[in-house]
Amino acid sequence: MGNYFKQYSFQPEMNDVINQLNFHEPTEIQAQVMPAILKGTSVIGQSHTGSGKTHAYLLPLFNRLDTARREVQFVITAPTRELATQIYDEVRKIITYAGREKDWNAKLLVGGTDRQKMMDKLKEPPHIIVGTPGRILDLVKEGALSIYTASAFVIDEADLMLELGFIQDVDQLLVRTKDEMQILAFSATIPQQLEHFYRKYLENPLRVKLDDRLSPEKMDHRLIFVKHRDAADIILNISQAIQPYLAIIFTNGKDDADALALSLQQKGLTVGLIHGGLSPRERKRTLKAIHNLRYQYIVATDLASRGIDIKGVSHVINARLPKEEDFYVHRAGRTARAGMEGTVISLYDVQDTQLIDKLQQKGIVFTFWDIKNGEWQQAKSWQERSHRYKETNQTDVEAWKKVKKPKKVKPGYRKKMKKEQEKIKKQMNQKSKDKRK
């Protein structure tokens, strides 16, 4: 291990864990929040997926775990059972690397598992609880679990908790904890409603917001103008030009995801589907197939994908651009992780130009392309397209003003006026060309 983590004065066994995790230097979010977490300070961390936030709180929490206290010391909540399971897997990995399987105890509490068996296992309190807030709250209400002894409470993907309606369960859990509880909240965005929630429970927290420029390692941002074409046809063409290890195709809703996945499957692509409308069993089956490399493409919505950490994504394809910059940043953050290269390909239309402009102001560099017969072709930027569109539109207006309006309306008069408008427009365009010579 390099000297970068030694500055935090971790316990020797945690230094061994960091070595075995093959961590050499902390990520930006880790460097900014770990000193505060080690001191017991509450933290509000805002960073995109892949920034290393899970270990930013796990390593400091494990560092101060007291084996002598056989009671719940830390509670870690996540909005989906898939994300909770992934966090729990990292917890188990740390326990194994530290060689403390007999001393450190952690339990995963999520839906879809036998409730009675879970209650039996909780008769001996674990040190660490990882789970979904709803299931943890059920067990607390049943009297099978007490979290009053906990000294730290983690809210992972807090904005997604809010969107899915689970923040009320988190609220119910926090009223059952100590007043001096250390709260560690992490999310990609902080909506106003979440700010109100934070003010209720967090007193003088450390706030960390990472600059959301998307320039990790090597990331290529490509834009393709739709031109009234079908998204599935364009994506099929893209598939012939790229060889993704794994590509996530984002849509803006469950219905769009269903339709696109079906269309791509009919066109012969191996496509998986993930969105919040699927049953837990269907999502679990899809995730297992993804880990077994059965799919090369996954069609997903924002909500479902943010609650699931899918590794090995080489390409992100936006079948439709999102409405907000934060969602673009979050989608793009799925690729170019851990030193790998990544490509983000977005289909766009005229109504997306305002978003593109805002993203460019953030420092994202787009290149403009078209795709034909499985080959990339460079295209004009949206500014050039927009300018040409406005210019053409203005010419139409001016030409229409010059069309003689008939005093008496006869059948077919609109058609005649349209023809006259086209004739005047051609003359105006010719005059414009002559002036440029």
In 3D, which of 39, 6, 11 has the Cα closest to residue 25?
A: 6
Better-scored residue on pLDDT, 184 or 335: 184
Q: How buried is residue 39: exposed, middle or buried, by Cβ count under 10 Å (0-12/13-18/19+)?
A: exposed
Out of 17-31, 241-255, 318-332, 412-426, pick the least confident. 412-426
Q: What average pLDDT does this structure show over 124-129? A: 95
**Is the model's pLDDT at 114 over the cut of 70?**
yes
pLDDT reported for residue 406: 64
pTM of the model: 0.73
Closest CA to 333 of 430, 158, 216, 202: 216
Q: Are 169 and 134 in contact (CB under 8 A)?
A: yes
- C-alpha 106/C-alpha 135 separation (Å) is 15
CATH superfamily of 6-209: P-loop containing nucleotide triphosphate hydrolases (3.40.50.300)
Residues 6+ apart with CB under 8 A from 313: 245, 246, 247, 248, 334, 335, 337, 342
Per-residue pLDDT for 389 more than 50?
no
- Any idea where the domains of the chain sit in the sequence? 6-209, 218-379
pLDDT class for 145, splitting at 50, 70, 90?
A: very high
Using CB atoms within 10 A of its CB, is residue 341 exposed (0-12), middle (13-18) or buried (19+)?
exposed
Q: Is the pLDDT of residue 241 over 60?
A: yes
Q: Give the range among 291-300, 308-317, 364-373 with minimum mean pLDDT.
A: 308-317
Query: Which are the contacts of 94, defined by CB distance < 8 A and separation ≥ 6?
Result: 17, 21, 58, 59, 62
Name the DSSP letter for residue 404: P
**Any idea which fold 218-379 has?**
Rossmann fold (3.40.50)
Cα(375)–Cα(238) distance, integer angstroms: 8
At 309, the pLDDT band (50, 70, 90 cuts) reads confident
Q: What does each C-alpha distance from 243 to 114, 231, 232, 263, 315 come to in angstroms? A: 42, 19, 17, 20, 9
The predicted structure's pLDDT at residue 422: 76
Identical fold at 6-209 and 218-379? Answer: yes
User: Which segments of 150-266 are extended strands (E)?
Assistant: 152-155, 182-187, 206-209, 218-225, 247-250
